[in-house]
Amino acid sequence: MALYSISKFLSLSRPLRIRKFSTLKSATASSAEKFYTCLEKNDSKNIEKTLATVDAKLDSTCVTEVLHRCYPTKSQLGLRFFIWAGIQSNYRHSSFTYSKACELLDINRNPRMVGDVIEGYGLESSVLSAKAFKVVLNLCREARLANEALWVLRKMEEFDLRADTTAYNVVLRLFCEKGEIDLAEELMNEMGLRDLYPDIITYIAMIRGFCKVGRLEDAYGLVQVMKGQGCMPNAVVYSALLDGVCRYGKMEKALELLGEMEKEGKEFSPNVVTYTSVIQSFCEKGQPMEALGLLDRMEAFGCSPNRVTVRSLIKGLCEKGHIEEAYKAIDKVVAGGSVSSGDCYSSLVLCLVKFKKLEEAEKLFREMLASGVKPDSLACSILIKELCLEGRVLDGFWLCDEIEKSEFLSSVDSDLYSILLVGLYKQSHLVEAAKLTRLMLKKGIRLKASYFDTIVEHLKKFEDEELVKHLSATPK
């Protein structure tokens, strides 16, 4: 009977299985149905003219539903519908819609579909606008289809269309991302032959492309070319160059570039992301003390560090054993007021655990609780779980109890209670298990289903009526 009561309580912890139903609004479903019916009945020439006669609202949900219905037997029609929808005056594809189109039409596995559809327009002598070509190019960009995007760019001439800088940028950036910088460079030169001028987007893509393949001097030279052509580099340009320099470990050059940005001022000024990137690079190169010097530099420049900055710096210092310097860095950041003491010390706790300094991590954590500094969820969970892995389940429980008394319970991962409960049963700490169970009931925390069988198995070994009473209780 006792075991029945316990099992009854534990069964409440099993997640309910709720049947899922479609949540599409009737209006959207109706619109998608109308467009899809149109595609089914008129899957021949000039389908776009027929689509224009459909009296239905066009939105992203409608578009994705039509594409879903078209795959896989009518994927080409689905793509034509997508292109048509993208040039309508009352609708514009979002980046999410482009992503869904790639997924629903499976374009990555069947990139030839793009060429087939364009060729189909030509065979029908259809008029295809520059805007329609840009929809196709943006789809190629989302699918990372560089070669297909170049083919589409070349195909524009057959429709008496002239590619503009935006169209070239899409293709050029794809080849830069692939690391095919020579082809990207050819496209940039081609733009000049067609009286098109590279813009800031072109230069940023090329700088990143040069940096990707290690051509740092070419990347740096392009910044000078920009200035000569009246296209002044901004913080994004400098940051792109700085990222490349850091990636190849040219830290002296990185500091030089950082100095140039600081001198330029205004829109060229380095921001917290810029400084953090350099700090991370120094730490990755095993030079955390140099990174620590950058903390002073950025604050002197009037740029406050954020949590990512602090986390990166603390990790780098701890990895090299500079624990005392990590504490000093935290004191400095907390005094500046840009990052809370809870966030800073939580990062230090995590690093101490990561680098196998569990005793010091636990000591710091307890000092945080004693002084009213709230640790974050990750620090709470990781530390207690590490104690459990070390076989110190009881210590983990009492630490969790201290967190409860400090009213920091919201910081504890709910999975942790299940882990602790199982550990307490395994080590026969029934009084503590009962106390934890009452806490779980009080807080409405359910036992994870994956632990259910383990708990029941251990309960079979005990006949503690008091424990059964606690487990069978319900929260008030």
Picking from 291, 218, 208, 287, the residue whose alpha carbon sits closest to that of residue 242 is: 208
Residue at 53 is within a domain: yes
Residues 427 and 396 placed together within one structural domain of the fold: no
Residues 155 and 40 placed together within one structural domain of the fold: yes
Is residue 127 exposed (0-12), middle (13-18) or buried (19+ Cβ within 10 Å)? exposed
Residues 435 and 373 placed together within one structural domain of the fold: no
Residue 466's pLDDT is: 52
End position of a domain, from candidates 373, 403, 433: 403
Mean pLDDT of 78-107: 96
End position of a domain, from candidates 120, 138, 163: 163
pLDDT over 70 for what percent of the chain? 87
Residues 393 and 433 placed together within one structural domain of the fold: no
Residue at 317 is within a domain: no
- Please say if the pLDDT value at position 207 is more than 90: yes
- Of the CA atoms within 13 Å of residue 249, those in its CB half-sphere come to 4
Determine which of 86-90, 291-295, 395-399, 421-425 has the lowest per-residue pLDDT on average.
421-425
Residues with Cβ < 8 Å from 176, sequence gap 6 or more? 184, 205, 206, 208, 209, 212
Residue at 348 is within a domain: yes
Residues 390 and 419 placed together within one structural domain of the fold: no
Mean pLDDT of 320-330: 96
* Per-residue model confidence as pLDDT tens digits over 129-152: 999 999 999 999 999 999 999 999
Neighbouring C-beta atoms of residue 190, cutoff 10 Å: 14
pLDDT over 90 for what percent of the chain? 61
Residues 468 and 345 placed together within one structural domain of the fold: no
CA 45 to chain centre: 42
Neighbouring C-beta atoms of residue 162, cutoff 10 Å: 11
Residue 398's pLDDT is: 92
Residue at 318 is within a domain: no
Residues 430 and 370 placed together within one structural domain of the fold: no
Q: What six digits make up the tokens of 213? A: 């393949």
Distances (CA, A) of 396 to 387, 389, 416: 6, 10, 10
Residues 138 and 112 placed together within one structural domain of the fold: yes
Residues 442 and 476 placed together within one structural domain of the fold: yes
Instruction: Give CA–CA dist 29/355, Å, rounded.
Output: 55
Residue at 335 is within a domain: no
Q: Between 323-336 and 341-354, two packed helices, what is the crossing angle to 10 degrees?
A: 160
Residues 431 and 396 placed together within one structural domain of the fold: no
Higher pLDDT, 54 or 437: 54
Mean pLDDT of 403-420: 74
Position 67 confidence tier, pLDDT thresholds 50, 70, 90: very high
Mean pLDDT of 48-62: 93
Mean pLDDT of 391-409: 84
Residue at 273 is within a domain: no
Residue at 154 is within a domain: yes
Residues 396 and 426 placed together within one structural domain of the fold: no
Residue at 263 is within a domain: no
Residue 448's pLDDT is: 75
Neighbouring C-beta atoms of residue 84, cutoff 10 Å: 19
- Please say if the pLDDT value at position 461 is more than 70: no
Residues 371 and 468 placed together within one structural domain of the fold: no
Domain residue limits at 355: 340-403
Higher pLDDT, 449 or 408: 449
End position of a domain, from candidates 116, 147, 163: 163
- Please say if the pLDDT value at position 102 is more than 90: yes
Number of domains in the chain: 3
* Contact predicate 48/80, CB 8 Å: yes
